[in-house]
Amino acid sequence: VLGVFVAALVAGGLPRPAGSPTPASPSRTSSPPYREGVLGRPDSVSPLTARNRAARDLVALAFSGLVRPGPGESWAPDLAERWTSDADGRTWTFVLRPDATWQDGAPVTSADVAFTVRLLQDPKYTGPAAGSWSEVSVATPDPLTVVFRLATPVAGFLELASQPLVPAHLLKGVPADRLAGDPSILKSIGSGPFRILSWSADQAL
């Protein structure tokens, strides 16, 4: 089944995912829409519950992680502007971009990172990322700094850090087992360059 997604670009100056279209100037209202066809039907627009490829492709347009795929097998900054790790790979420190915001204007902070990770660690969370952060502790020394400490070094930790974040200010207090259908997440307030205005099994705007 071929589903056609029409992605509506949101102005905001956030970095674009690799392979995304170049945004037009906000004043050019006559610009043609960007359309992308994908195989399959999305099962979710939430980074917490997207399981199939169509859903993950859609989520990747609207939600950002600390890092994103770069050329080849490299990783590029996304919400984090830089990061470091210690010699044994057990401690990773990320510094967020000070200009990063959610699509409702709220700033993206280290609290959002910690909230997302602790949500994924919640025993009641049963989504596709369940268990992936089980041996990671997270600390937030200040609003722009996140420190991860790993019980066991993970060679692909930067891939783990590409996990799209969710907004703590909208979802705080919502139990992990309710997030699959909670109206707050269906508002799709992400931090990526595109905003999901509406979606169904066949089309997303």
- Find out whether 79 and 65 touch, Cβ atoms under 8 Å: yes
pTM recorded for the entire structure: 0.80
Beta bridge partners of 149: 91, 137
Task: Identify the pLDDT of residue 100.
Answer: 97
Mean pLDDT by 10 residues, the chain (205 residues): 40 42 47 78 83 86 94 94 94 97 96 95 88 93 98 90 93 81 68 86 79
The residue type at 156: G
Task: Identify the pLDDT of residue 172.
Answer: 86
